[in-house]
Amino acid sequence: MDSAASDWQSKIAAAQGGDREALGEIFRVLRTSLQGMANGQMDAQLQVKVSTSDIVQETLIEAYRGLETFQGTSRGELLAWLHGILTHRILTANRRFRGAAKRNLECERSLTRSEGSQSLPLLAHELSSPSQHAAANEELAQLEIALRQLPARQEQVIRLRNELRLSFAEIAEMLDCSTDAAQKLWSRAISQLARKLNAHAKDRG
């Protein structure tokens, strides 16, 4: 075990033992990575309702409360655990605000129906999806299908790099490999993904 890994193991053990200084240092170091993850996972509409900083803060509070349940010993394992909490917080916020928006929309529909049929065309126009959105959604669906067809490790490295925007050094720690190996794995995965997307395009054509 190298000195950096040993240092992280010691800090994690100290934090779990109640050392607030060690815990504060861990959170300060990992906050930037969590902020990048939140920015990558939260769409613009959700960020209007709740800031990424708030989500990260909620994540760290929840992590503090449940730190004794964490069973890893490395920075990568801790970051992956925190990412799980972060994702849960984002999904919760998404359901909360999307649910509120849906309730407001249903209320608007009810009001529109009560105002008479002349308002219906306007409402239908507001709710219809532009063709550009449909095309974009189809492309995203094809991308998701192609990603899931990749070997698990290739799918993981693409999601870590392109969705969560982690550095290759961070990815290497999470995948337990060298930074160079992580970069090469990502490059091979992107090439494989491109081939699958091209194959899907030919099939549709």
Range of the domain at 173: 130-205
- In terms of C-beta distances under 8 Å and separation of at least 24 residues, what long-range contacts does 96-105 make, across chains too? 97/46, 97/49, 97/50
The dihedral over CA atoms of 57, 59, 62, 68, expressed in degrees to the nearest 10, equals -120
80 and 177 belong to one structural domain: no
* pLDDT tens digits along 163-176: 667 788 878 877 77
Asked whether residue 161 is domain-assigned, the answer is yes
Residue 133 has pLDDT above 50, yes or no: no
Residue 98 has what pLDDT?
A: 64
Pick the residue with more confidence: 34 or 111?
Answer: 34
102 and 141 belong to one structural domain: no
101 and 7 belong to one structural domain: yes
* pLDDT tens digits along 91-120: 888 877 765 444 444 444 444 444 333 333
3-state secondary structure of 164: coil
User: Is the pTM here over 0.75, yes or no?
Assistant: no
